[in-house]
């Protein structure tokens, strides 16, 4: 439904009776997940306004839409997802850990800031690769290291 990024088309399709916005699409990915991965902000807005959207749905590896937007550096989409009712900021994926781990590892400073400000964020979740701080340190992301250390104080 959302794979091409046309918000108007997505909105129209959602008016069709019995449309399931949470239905798995290509390779089991959901519309919200695909749009988050591709940076399709307008489609995300349409989907998040839909009744029954499941913002925390995940892949078999535990990847959510927030993981995808965080790892790909889509700041506006992360903002939208963090504002969504019921979003779980600490969901752990077997691939990247939490969204904070992903953003820290990949050097997305603005997203790390957003995630650290999110209600309920646990910046100290440790995985096989360590905490978000350890991942940022390993990759040499000094600004993120500073942010994560300051969040501890």
Domain assignment of residue 70, yes or no: yes
State both tokens at 13. 């399709």
Given a cut of 50, the residues of the chain with pLDDT beneath it are 1-5, 8-16, 26-28, 153
pLDDT digits (tens, 9 = 90+) for 7-49: 544 444 444 456 555 555 544 457 888 889 989 998 889 888 8
User: What per-residue confidence (pLDDT) applies to 58?
Assistant: 86
* Cβ count near 125 (within 10 Å): 15
Phi-psi sector, 74: left (phi>0), alpha (psi -120 to 50), beta: beta
Domain assignment of residue 40, yes or no: yes
Domain assignment of residue 123, yes or no: yes
**Phi and psi, residue 127, nearest 5°:** -120, -170
CATH number, domain containing residue 37? 1.25.40.20
Residue 66, class by beta-carbon neighbours within 10 Å (0-12 exposed, 13-18 middle, 19+ buried)? buried
Structural domain boundaries, residue 113: 7-152
User: What per-residue confidence (pLDDT) applies to 20?
Assistant: 52
Number of domain units in the chain: 1
């Amino acid at each position: 439904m959302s794979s091409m990024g046309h918000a108007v088309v997505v909105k129209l399709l959602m008016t069709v009776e019995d449309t399931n916005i949470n239905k798995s699409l290509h390779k089991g990915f959901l519309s919200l997940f695909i749009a988050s991965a591709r940076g399709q902000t307008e489609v995300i807005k349409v989907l998040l306004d839909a009744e029954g959207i499941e913002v925390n749905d995940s892949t078999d590896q535990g990847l959510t839409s927030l993981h995808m937007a965080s790892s790909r550096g889509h700041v506006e989409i992360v903002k939208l997802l963090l504002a969504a009712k019921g979003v779980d900021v600490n969901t752990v994926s077997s691939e990247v850990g939490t969204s904070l781990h992903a953003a820290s590892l990949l050097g997305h400073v603005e997203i790390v800031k957003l995630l650290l400000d999110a209600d309920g964020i646990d910046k100290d979740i440790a995985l096989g690769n360590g905490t978000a701080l350890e991942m940022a340190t390993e990759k040499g992301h000094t600004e993120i290291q500073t942010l994560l250390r300051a969040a501890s104080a």
